Structure 1
């Protein structure tokens, strides 16, 4: 295949995306530069046209804002009633998504895509409702203003001076099938405002002064036109690629934005998203997490980092969080590893003095970037938004015993120095005071070590620096010693605490990795789903430090709890309540394949976070995690996702093993049925034909045959009937053994009588062979089922005669041995090949030989089942001079080795 052909063929990703969207509903967005341009009016007009064309159209939610023209267009369109949600003592209307899904119209109208739902709704935002409707295959018409697009949020704030809180991720519009721009001149829009067609008069007057100024409207119109033009350009590029139209294609690259706790980091993410869109490049958001010195769980900066990373994900970025001390080095290494072409960083707001002391991160980044472009973005600090879902602050209490411990060590050093002051200089005494500082930092952290350093310095000045017993200093040079002492103490304490923190973080990561590895190794050979679930929740709870539950569907598809593990310290408060609301959230996550519950935007009022256990093809269950906070840390979320992924693989493996086992049983059953039919068709038809032929001959020509001939015909009938009886008996015995219904009737048995009875039943056929029977005179009686042992002897003798030529010798031996009786039957037949010695007791096994041997191949299999039911063993051996010996051994003690279910009461 030539390179030219590969370049002209359609993009596989584009084709795959198009195939996946065939089952989704079509989304049409009516986009406007501002409120009042006529988006809802145009949407309703388009809906009437679809209704006239025969489409099933329904209104899911429309805001008329009291406009008469809009209300007239609502008339004539079917409307799905809103649901009422209880909030702060009031019942407020909201779009009823369940009613829409039940009604399933071809097209539903959903106004105001950026709307925030009333707390208690299924989803936090209305665009999430629209996504669910699209996944259900329902087409949606919706409206949106340009200022609500997430990547343009900061630009709109700069233009209008108003920060828009309700925004929609860019990928919603990128995945839309159609975006229709609704635009009117600024003068007409202001006229409509003054006429009260957009807001009530009081609101309209205020809006004209603050937001709807002609300059603002023109700027927003330009944004709308540019956004629409970019979309048209993208659609044109996709069309050219799908139809193999040659053109100048831009080289794909990657844009990386550095996310931090900076107040304007969100603006960097949006700027990087616009840059990546212009370059048609992939966006990567990276957060370099320094050792935890300033980021306790739940504090303001950590919450800001979480919001910024979530914003990057909403804008379609791939997010990475790594740990490292050297920020510049880590950024460059990640950029090179991810093949990044451009890096976006923020312009620092530090003072010149700070940069002289610490160095400029931007300058270092530019110097070390090599061939990577570096974009420095000027930002303005944003006001912290109420994210609605925030991390609960960590409740850290001061441990005064640590400070007492530091003070005690300083006191011990002081006593030691006082005792040996004459033999030590001031320099050595000062060095000794560094010891408790280092130990405090190593054991308890930086603040106890700083306190210890202050105590040590005070003791050193008061007791050892002249003049003693005062805090005054006679020699000014000691002040430099004090400053040096404190600097060294602070550096040692800070670095020791840092190493301690890094070691703890490394131990936690190692613990998590080891737990995942041990769990995957433990369940590698386990196919018990209950046991796997119990191991999962226990190890996951111990590793993450949260309570876990595993919920799997039953035969009807209803979720139920298979395993649960709760932390002992909080067991009373974390136990999963058996209430319908929690079950409903878990069921929603299972049905839709999306995380729901606590710490998500879907049904966040739940007590648990429910993560679907996804495999490549389906969803096999739900993992529930008890989350006290409204937001969890990114690294904790990744760890829980890892457990969920491992659990999904384990559950899928068990189910595949069950399917494979069922398939093997089905195959074995089919093979057994085929062999059974083949055996019956031959082993029953042959003696039956002999019986029918002999009877017919006797009936039709009774006077023709002599007495001897008639006797021979009757013997044929008797032999055929006996043969059929053995076949049917073997089949029935096999069925009883397979079903476990065989019950032993235990009684005293004489093995010599059993052998004699067996030979008597086979007397017609044994006359053709030489029988050599030897039974030891001192052989004891057996506690066994005499009838079944007789069946074993008949099968063994009959099997020996089948594979021996007429007139050959058959040996039967019985002798006691060590509390058991050993019985053997030997023939002089063709023998059994060495490689087949282990197969002779399999059902339907037949030795391959030239002459035909009758039988179903069930005799030895039945013998094995009966002997093992008596607690004995059976085996086969090759005779040195040819032939085969089949032996079995049964204990003589009463019920010795006998399975309890088979013993007779």
Structure 2
């Protein structure tokens, strides 16, 4: 990078160093000393002095090209951005070109593969989509033996770290594998660039068929690994890909850790360019297949079933019902320990216990009424636990309850008593009706039980997109647009909301709640979102320590203002899919404002 910079500077380009980490290497230090350097910011954190590029100083200097080392670095706590690649994106947005460096193990989609090979998981990663916007990617590749010589000579790390690095990470075997991964990744990037260029110039194909991959994930420690594996698979097939999470009745109350696993996986999918879908359903295989049929999915990726209930697992049931759809099974790259109770089939559930208690209570009541009312009325009473189970529980529980109730009634109240034989075939017809009733009622109740919460959660989407679009069609003045946006923002959740628009002294509240916490700190975050055309604040990796979540109203190259959301419970509301809704609201508002300009 430094050698290329010196070469371009001799051609008359204005090139400066924004941040370079020499690691004490003499050759690197000598090269860096020949270029102008913008002093970096120093941050004291827990007894350490951390250095980061000074973005504001770079923007004031406005060189043609700035060098910023270590692309995958995590910025110091309290910095404007959480990651260095976001610093670079802001600099690029200002019209300044950037040269940067990164190792193959820091690329998001390759993280799991590298961890499997080296036994070391790299925490700092960069989304693959960042590289697809690059004008040029240069692969630095030398034979493993030569790299080890450079390591031991102190040309990569200082000498006291070099030998340890060779033994732990940079063995010949690891380097060969990393080299192959880097070459394969470069081939993928080059192939993508070629296809993009061919499409842009309408060059005849052959073009790949329209494949679509559906990835089913559950809250767990390997969910984000599975998303990255899905991205690699979709990239290989040039396929659109969708990440879906279906919450079941048993997953209504996720733990904080499980919620973080799921949200992290969804955020990983968003950063890699995937579409995310998240809703509730009673029958996971049925919901997966239904969604796949409705959205023309050609491939489904699921986690490989583990444990002792493999043939009862949702994965196996999905495979059986997925006629015409290819199934891919994902195996976690790291060892995953599953508690024994999670591996066993769940034959006895709390719902079955409750149903058994109801059957016992009704049977006792019928025992005392057997000489008071007729057998047909006793049968109606015995139907109560069946109806209750069908309304409250899943279909399997309802059918088991119906069969158990039938057998107990036949044993205790149908002649010949205390046997399981039936002399009167009218009872047999009634018993068959038991099962049919349980099946029908439970089916309808299950659909209602899971559809109603889904409908309620979809109301926000409908209100934010469809109704907002309709309301914005008929407005004729800018202020009406701001008022309409504010009204719809208030319907999205509890908290304080405002529409911020630019004025002589910066952003001000055009319309909003009088108690919106627009402190100087919040105003600075909103101003950054406005100037850069990107979401910032709470729930993002840009200035995340703020109270509000700020979404710019940007259409094409013009930003008209900022939507400000200070939710009462931001962790609950600012899910990946909800963030997309807020961005859609802002975009619709920007389009409407552009029409009335």
Determine which of 566, 588, 593 is the counterpart of 1:626.
Answer: 566
Determine which of 278, 301, 305 is the counterpart of 1:348.
Answer: 305
Are residues 124 and 295 of structure 1, via their aligned partners in 2, closer, same or farther at CA, if it must alter by over 3 Å? farther
* 2:14 alignment counterpart: 56
Q: What SS class does the counterpart of residue 39 from structure 2 fall into?
A: coil
* 1:833 alignment counterpart: none
* 2:39 alignment counterpart: 81
The structure with the larger Rg is 1
For the pair 1:188 / 2:137, whether they are aligned, the reply is: no
In 1, the alpha carbon distance for the partners of 2:46 and 2:113 equals 35
> Post-superposition shift, 1:143?
0.8
* 1:549 alignment counterpart: 498
* 2:328 alignment counterpart: 375
Are residues 255 and 526 of structure 1, via their aligned partners in 2, closer, same or farther at CA, if it must alter by over 3 Å? closer
* 1:696 alignment counterpart: none
Length, aligned pairs only: 544
Are residues 198 and 326 of structure 1, via their aligned partners in 2, closer, same or farther at CA, if it must alter by over 3 Å? same
Q: What SS class does the counterpart of residue 70 from structure 2 fall into?
A: coil
Greater displacement, 129-138 / 333-342: 333-342
* 1:614 alignment counterpart: 554
Determine which of 129, 136, 156 is the counterpart of 2:114.
Answer: 156
Extract unaligned runs of 5+ from structure 2: 338-354, 398-403, 413-417, 421-433
> Post-superposition shift, 1:603?
0.9
In 1, the alpha carbon distance for the partners of 2:475 and 2:179 equals 63
* 1:636 alignment counterpart: 578
Determine which of 104, 113, 117 is the counterpart of 2:62.
Answer: 104
Determine which of 462, 473, 476 is the counterpart of 1:513.
Answer: 462
For the pair 1:564 / 2:504, whether they are aligned, the reply is: no
For the pair 1:251 / 2:208, whether they are aligned, the reply is: yes
Determine which of 522, 535, 538 is the counterpart of 1:595.
Answer: 535
* 2:453 alignment counterpart: 504
> Post-superposition shift, 1:147?
0.9
> Post-superposition shift, 1:377?
3.5
* 1:218 alignment counterpart: 176
Are residues 314 and 435 of structure 1, via their aligned partners in 2, closer, same or farther at CA, if it must alter by over 3 Å? same
Q: Deviation string for 1:341-391 (max 9, x for gaps)?
A: 44433332243x44157671353254x12xx4433343345789xxxxxxx
* 2:426 alignment counterpart: none
In 2, the alpha carbon distance for the partners of 1:521 and 1:90 equals 55
Q: What SS class does the counterpart of residue 320 from structure 2 fall into?
A: helix
Are residues 48 and 518 of structure 1, via their aligned partners in 2, closer, same or farther at CA, if it must alter by over 3 Å? closer
> Post-superposition shift, 1:505?
3.0
In 1, the alpha carbon distance for the partners of 2:232 and 2:316 equals 26
Are residues 147 and 76 of structure 1, via their aligned partners in 2, closer, same or farther at CA, if it must alter by over 3 Å? same
In 1, the alpha carbon distance for the partners of 2:254 and 2:579 equals 14
* 2:101 alignment counterpart: 143
Are residues 145 and 418 of structure 1, via their aligned partners in 2, closer, same or farther at CA, if it must alter by over 3 Å? same
In 1, the alpha carbon distance for the partners of 2:460 and 2:193 equals 48
- Give the alignment's Cα RMSD to 1 decimal: 4.3
> Post-superposition shift, 1:559?
1.4
> Post-superposition shift, 1:597?
0.6
Are residues 540 and 413 of structure 1, via their aligned partners in 2, closer, same or farther at CA, if it must alter by over 3 Å? farther
In 1, the alpha carbon distance for the partners of 2:94 and 2:236 equals 32
> Post-superposition shift, 1:219?
1.0
* 1:859 alignment counterpart: none
Are residues 557 and 497 of structure 1, via their aligned partners in 2, closer, same or farther at CA, if it must alter by over 3 Å? farther
In 2, the alpha carbon distance for the partners of 1:533 and 1:234 equals 41
Please say if residues 500 and 562 of structure 2, whose CA atoms lie closer than 8 Å, have aligned partners that are also in contact. Answer: yes
> Post-superposition shift, 1:198?
3.1
In 1, the alpha carbon distance for the partners of 2:561 and 2:200 equals 38
Extract unaligned runs of 5+ from structure 1: 1-42, 385-405, 451-456, 466-474, 478-484, 567-574, 660-905
* 1:806 alignment counterpart: none
* 2:516 alignment counterpart: 576
In 1, the alpha carbon distance for the partners of 2:459 and 2:200 equals 47
Highest RCO, 1 vs 2 (Cα 8 Å, sep ≥ 6): 2
TM-score, structure 1 as length reference: 0.53
Are residues 433 and 126 of structure 1, via their aligned partners in 2, closer, same or farther at CA, if it must alter by over 3 Å? farther
Q: Deviation string for 1:12-51 (max 9, x for gaps)?
A: xxxxxxxxxxxxxxxxxxxxxxxxxxxxxxx112222222
Q: What SS class does the counterpart of residue 217 from structure 2 fall into?
A: coil
